[in-house]
């Protein structure tokens, strides 16, 4: 029983700082592709120089928080998706290719290791989630 207690304590100390969120792209209003190709308005696959032109980069980053060893997320990603949609609209793009999502821990998570274990469940964990890609516009539109 004593060994089990040590294992649980070690797991809690190693996995206490950070943040866990679910990214939902259901509210995305534009075509987004993780590859360099995208479907055009005619339903056919298009790529840079073959139906679409890359007009720039897009990157939208937001910070998210969690409590109780990252089991209680605070906030959701709907605002970030809305900001992503807004940038696409502002730039006059028709979609995004080479889309990626990056989840990076915040520097303040390192301070969790100097906090007493009794306080750790209430220490806010942090992560930065970044959406990025290449903005594209259909050629001839």
What local confidence, expressed as pLDDT, does residue 10 receive? 62
- DSSP category for residue 32: E
Joined together, the tokens standing for residue 112 give: 């969790």
From first to last of its 141 residues, what are the pLDDT tens digits of the chain? 667 777 666 655 555 556 667 788 889 999 999 999 999 888 899 998 899 999 999 999 998 888 776 777 777 788 999 999 999 999 999 999 999 999 887 776 666 666 655 566 667 778 889 999 999 999 876
What local confidence, expressed as pLDDT, does residue 64 receive? 85
Task: Judge whether 64 and 78 are in contact, CB under 8 Å.
Answer: no
Joined together, the tokens standing for residue 84 give: 């992503």
What local confidence, expressed as pLDDT, does residue 28 receive? 93
What local confidence, expressed as pLDDT, does residue 49 receive? 85
Q: Whole-prediction pTM value? A: 0.76
For the chain, domains (ranges, CATH) are: 2-138 (3.30.110.70)
Residues 6 or more apart in contact with residue 63 via CB below 8 angstroms: 106, 126, 127, 128
- Residue 14 C-beta-side C-alpha neighbours within 13 Å: 6
The structure tokens 């089991």 sit at 71
Joined together, the tokens standing for residue 136 give: 């594209």
């Amino acid at each position: 029983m004593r060994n089990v207690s040590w294992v649980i304590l070690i797991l809690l100390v190693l996995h206490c700082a950070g943040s866990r969120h679910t990214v939902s792209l259901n509210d995305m209003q534009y075509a987004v592709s993780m590859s360099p190709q995208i479907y055009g308005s005619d339903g056919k696959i298009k790529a840079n120089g073959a139906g679409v032109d890359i007009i720039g980069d897009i990157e939208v980053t937001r910070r998210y928080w969690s409590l109780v060893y990252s089991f209680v997320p605070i906030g959701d990603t709907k605002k970030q998706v809305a900001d992503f949609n807004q940038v696409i609209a502002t730039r006059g793009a028709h979609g995004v290719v080479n889309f990626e999502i990056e989840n990076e821990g915040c520097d303040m998570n390192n301070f969790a290791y100097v906090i007493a274990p009794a306080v750790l469940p209430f220490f806010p964990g942090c992560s930065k989630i970044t959406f990025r890609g290449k903005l594209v516009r259909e050629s001839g539109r």
